[in-house]
């Protein structure tokens, strides 16, 4: 039940006169919050809306690399009003068959308003600022990932590599605070792992807290630790004490199982809030307290998730990946969902008859094969993306979208970095979505989205072998 491996020192007492880094008007205070962790693949927009529905106080988007966002166009999807950042995928110099923009980040300007934190993967103050300016008008905060242990992140100097180059991490945070946080009036924060020696963690946290950040999350594992190893919480009281004395909100992450568990940890370790990853990935109704009924049955969660996916026009590959996490492997319907080739076939398999018509339209919009094509394909042994012409209704909807997107002329105000914190009106919100790794045009490339995959990798995915 997420108990620490070592017994903790008691939570230190914090003087009531402790300072507080002011929370900017467009930012959000992490104090008292139980939040959804940043998760590549598992933290796309439908998953975040699901977590919010079940009571997550704040949601982190999946880590998005600075270079991946820079060069994106920002537009509003006219069918669902979501904000989408998209770009032509970089393809390692290879000819791209049809230069179709791919959505890098998608967000809901209404339901995520004031509750979405954009997490950036970066190793450069300049690139971080450039990317930060593009998204700042649409989010309540920007968080720097200083914990991803994967080579594709650390080899670029990003993620956990930043724990070994504190000067660079400090310069990134300082630049973001000054050039993005202040003009846009949002908070800047950082997510770290603990270091082996508590003294080194103490020195690092002390330096980070002096950069002007409003929040710090500590994943209570060291960089080499595997996700299945229990989180170590014995450094937490010390980290909490430093943050509190500097007026920086502190969130604890690592083996937090539910809202109630998060609150218990806050009491026990003196932290301001807690962040949940794996347990939310499996069933985000963990954000409901026991008083609210606690965990919901998987079927209710899948139903809610499917509705959000249809509403967001989520990429089918990503939806299928998450369904694989949400539906217990022993359930009969697991195999049918796993073999589904479209929203329609999946809704049919799950018995969501009332969603079939919406599923058919979304399949058409995102280019999934229709039921006729699938039947045809079955006979011919093919399973390709739909080549069929879109129906007049869908064509009309898509033309409207093109026209509206054209209004941004490929250089939206967000994209040219000209918006300020004052411009955060309706329709000025961004969309959030880093591409899932299996959907990324060129994952090892600079435009790739990295993740703290040490946490994800060993969670074997039946859908992905």
Ligand X SMILES: Cc1cc2nc3c(=O)[nH]c(=O)nc-3n(C[C@H](O)[C@H](O)[C@H](O)COP(=O)(O)O)c2cc1C
d(CA 248, CA 169): 17
Examine residue 346 and tell whether it contacts ligand X (CB under 6 A).
no
We find the least distance from the C-beta atom of residue 347 to ligand X, in angstroms, to be 25
The neighbour count for residue 179, using CB atoms within 10 Å, is: 18
Nearer to ligand X, 143 or 363 (CB): 143
- Cα distance from N-terminal residue to C-terminal residue, the chain: 29
Interaction between residue 452 and ligand X (CB under 6 A): yes
CB of 452 to ligand X, least distance (A): 3
- Residue of 148, 220, 286, 347 marked catalytic: 148
3-state class (DSSP) for residue 443: coil
Pair of tokens at residue 176: 């973001």
Q: What's the CA gap between 211 and 178, in Å, rounded? A: 9
Work out whether 57 is an interface residue with ligand X (CB under 6 A). Answer: no
- Shortest Cβ distance from residue 331 to ligand X (Å)? 21
Query: Which residue number, 140 or 190, has a Cβ lying nearer to ligand X?
Result: 190
- Binding ligand X (rule: CB under 6 A), the pick from 63, 66, 272, 311 is 63
What are 254's two structure tokens? 């690592």
Identify which range of 145-153, 234-242, 296-304, 439-447 contacts ligand X by CB under 6 A. 145-153
User: Which one among 241, 278, 284, 285 touches ligand X, defined by CB under 6 A?
Assistant: 278
In the bound state with ligand X, the residue whose beta carbon lies nearer, of 278 and 430, is 278
Q: Is 428 near ligand X (CB under 6 A)?
A: no
318: contact with ligand X by CB under 6 A: no
Query: Which 195-234 positions form the footprint of ligand X (CB under 6 A)?
Result: 219, 227
Distance CA(446)–CA(354), nearest Å, equals: 42
- Candidates 372, 329, 323; CA nearest to 352 is 323
Give 194-262 as a DSSP string: --SSHHHHHHHHHHHHTTT-SEEEEESS-TT--TTSPP--TTHHHHHHHHHHHT-EEEEESS--SHHHH
Determine, following the binding rule CB under 6 A, whether residue 439 of this chain makes contact with ligand X: no
Smallest gap from residue 279 Cβ to ligand X (A): 6
Q: Does 435 bind ligand X (CB under 6 A)?
A: no
**Nearest Cα residue to 69 out of 366, 426, 421, 434:** 434
x-or-dash string of contact with ligand X, 108-127, rule CB under 6 A: -----------x--------
Nearest-CA neighbor of 191 among 88, 133, 286, 118?
118
Residue 345 touching ligand X (CB under 6 A): no
Q: How far is the CB of 204 from ligand X (least distance, A)?
A: 16
346 is catalytic: no
Stretch that binds ligand X, among 69-77, 109-117, 250-258, 305-313 (CB under 6 A): 250-258
Placement of tokens 């591409």 in the chain: 435
Which residues 6+ apart lie within 8 Å of 260 measured at CB?
A: 289, 290
Query: Does 304 engage in binding with ligand X (CB under 6 A)?
Result: no
From the list 24, 38, 149, 156, which residue makes contact with ligand X (rule: CB under 6 A)? 38
CB 77 within 8 A of CB 362: no
72 near ligand X (CB under 6 A): no
* Separation between Cα atoms, residue 450 and residue 452, nearest integer Å: 7
Give the residue, chosen from 232, 277, 323, 347, that forms a contact with ligand X under the rule CB under 6 A: 277
For residue 400, the SS3 value is: helix
158 in contact with ligand X (CB under 6 A): no
Least Å distance between CB 436 and ligand X? 10
Which of 127, 114, 237 shows the shortest CA–CA distance to 187?
114
Token output for 109: 């300007």
Contact 191/147 with Cβ under 8 angstroms?
Answer: yes
Smallest gap from residue 6 Cβ to ligand X (A): 17
Q: What angle do CA 114, 305, 33 make, to 5 degrees?
A: 35
Minimum distance from CB of 332 to ligand X (Å)? 26
**CB of residue 449 to ligand X, shortest distance in Å:** 8
Stretch that binds ligand X, among 45-53, 66-74, 149-157, 275-283 (CB under 6 A): 275-283
- Between 27 and 38, name the residue whose CB sits nearer to ligand X: 38
Spatial CA neighbour of 319 closest among 45, 59, 62: 45
The residue (of 286 and 374) whose beta carbon lies closer to ligand X is 286
Distance of alpha carbon 97 from the chain centroid = 29
**Would you count residue 47 as binding ligand X (CB under 6 A)?**
no
In the complex, which residues of this chain contact ligand X (CB under 6 A)? 37-42, 62-63, 119, 145, 147-148, 191, 219, 227, 253-256, 276-279, 281, 451-452, 455-456
Catalytic residues: 148
């Amino acid at each position: 039940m997420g108990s620490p491996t070592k017994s903790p020192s008691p939570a230190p007492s914090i003087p009531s006169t402790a300072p507080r880094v002011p929370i900017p008007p467009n930012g959000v205070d992490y104090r008292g919050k139980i939040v959804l962790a940043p998760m590549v693949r598992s933290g796309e927009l439908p998953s975040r809306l699901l977590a919010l529905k079940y009571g997550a106080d704040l949601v982190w988007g999946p880590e998005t690399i600075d270079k991946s966002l820079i060069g994106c166009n920002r537009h509003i999807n006219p069918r669902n009003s979501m904000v989408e950042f998209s770009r032509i995928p970089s393809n390692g110099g290879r000819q791209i068959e049809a230069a179709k923009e791919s959505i890098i980040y998608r967000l809901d300007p209404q339901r995520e308003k004031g509750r979405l934190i954009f997490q950036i993967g970066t190793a450069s103050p300049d690139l971080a600022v450039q990317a930060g300016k593009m998204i700042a008008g649409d989010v309540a905060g920007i968080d720097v990932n200083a914990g991803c242990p994967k080579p594709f992140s650390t080899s670029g100097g990003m993620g956990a590599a930043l724990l070994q180059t504190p000067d660079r991490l400090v310069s990134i945070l300082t630049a973001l605070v000054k050039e993005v946080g202040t003009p846009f009036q949002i908070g800047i924060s950082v997510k770290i792992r603990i270091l082996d020696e508590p003294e080194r963690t103490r020195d690092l946290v002390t330096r980070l807290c002096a950069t002007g950040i409003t929040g710090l999350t500590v994943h209570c594992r060291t960089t080499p630790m595997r996700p299945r190893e229990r989180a170590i919480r014995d450094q937490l009281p010390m980290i909490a004490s430093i943050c509190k004395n500097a007026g920086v909100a502190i969130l604890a992450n690592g083996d937090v199982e539910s809202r109630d568990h998060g609150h218990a940890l806050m009491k026990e370790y003196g932290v301001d809030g807690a962040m949940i990853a794996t347990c939310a990935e499996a069933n985000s109704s963990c954000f409901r307290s026991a008083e609210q009924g606690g965990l919901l049955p998987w079927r209710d969660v899948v139903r809610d998730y499917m509705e959000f996916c249809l509403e967001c026009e989520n990429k089918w590959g990503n939806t299928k990946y998450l369904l694989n996490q949400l539906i217990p492997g022993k359930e009969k319907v697991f195999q049918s969902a796993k073999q589904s080739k479209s929203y329609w076939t999946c809704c049919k398999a799950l018995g969501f008859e009332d969603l079939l018509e919406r599923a058919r339209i979304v399949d058409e919009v995102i280019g999934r094969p229709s039921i006729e094509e699938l039947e045809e394909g079955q006979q011919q042994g093919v399973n390709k993306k739909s080549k069929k012409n879109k129906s007049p209704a869908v064509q009309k909807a898509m033309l409207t979208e093109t026209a509206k997107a054209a209004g941004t002329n490929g250089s939206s105000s967000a994209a040219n970095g000209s918006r300020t914190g004052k411009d955060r009106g309706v329709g000025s919100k961004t969309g959030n979505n880093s591409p899932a790794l299996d959907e990324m045009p060129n994952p090892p490339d600079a435009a790739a989205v990295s993740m703290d995959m040490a946490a994800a990798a060993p969670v074997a995915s039946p859908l992905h072998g």
